[in-house]
Amino acid sequence: MGIIFSSTGFADKAERRFLKVTASTVHSRCVLDAIVTPVQDPLLFLNECSRRCAALKSCLLFCVDAGMTTCTLLSTLVSRQFLGIEPSDNTVTFDTCYSSWADELNIIHDSMLVDSSPMLKERRSSYVVDGYACKSVVEEHRFTAQSGADNYLIVDFDSEVNVASLKIAHRPEEIFFKSVSVGLGLDKNDMKIVANVPQGDPDSITSVVLSTPTLARYLSLKQPTENYFEVWEVQVFPAD
């Protein structure tokens, strides 16, 4: 388990946990703010960074420099397994990053197979399991389906999982994530609908907690509207 910092957001008073991640290079357009502070005790510095990020709803990642003098807040979802973006003119690299999206209990990883309705441009369905997305204007690393009825995603866990809950990161505008049915099953052609989401959370992350854990190998997300369908990341958590 990596280093974890917990902080309470000022707005909603909900505790946010930040886990140290491997990735240290991300898109520069995801940067929300950079805070320069005097050199101090490293632990106090990191606690202050986590507090600043937790106080900002759009902040999901904070990164620091080697000298522990600058804390950068980013609107980036990063999982434990994601290794980072290839450096370019559009990226920024830090010494260490801590993510509130990362979770050691999440079973999703980038080798899982994903089936979907036709994608828009090159916004592939495999992006929903790669462990990275930016809530800002960056269009890379997110799945977008073409507009049309019955857009869908199906994730193959590659083994049976007793699913207790899941999180879905998606575009916040209503037309991109609306009337979505969540299905689980051992056969992708025979899925049980375990939840219906009339409208996604306006903060882009929708949580689904099952009243009873469901044994499944496949997860499906379906949107039976004529709109575009855009999902950034999914996380799946097993029962204890």
Q: What is the reported pLDDT for 118?
A: 86
Residue matched to tokens 């990226």: 91
The pLDDT tens digits of the residues spanning 199-212 come to 888 889 999 999 99
Taking the whole predicted model, whether its pTM rises above 0.85 is answered as yes
Pick the closest to residue 78 from 52, 51, 102, 113 (CA basis): 102
Task: State mean pLDDT over 22-37.
Answer: 92
- Average pLDDT, rounded, for the chain: 89
Q: What is the reported pLDDT for 9?
A: 43
First to last CA, the chain: 17
Q: What is the reported pLDDT for 24?
A: 94
Judge whether residue 179 has pLDDT over 70.
yes
Q: How far does Cα 29 stand from its chain's mean position?
A: 17
The pLDDT tens digits of the residues spanning 49-81 come to 999 999 998 999 999 998 888 999 999 999 999
Please give the C-alpha separations between residue 134 and each of 98, 131, 214, in angstroms, as whole numbers. 15, 11, 30
Q: What is the reported pLDDT for 12?
A: 47
Percent of all residues in the chain with a pLDDT value above 90, rounded to a whole number: 65
Judge whether residue 152 has pLDDT over 80.
yes
Pick the closest to residue 76 from 136, 24, 141, 21 (CA basis): 136
Contact 234, 116 (CB under 8 A): no
> Which stretches of the chain are DSSP H helices?
42-54
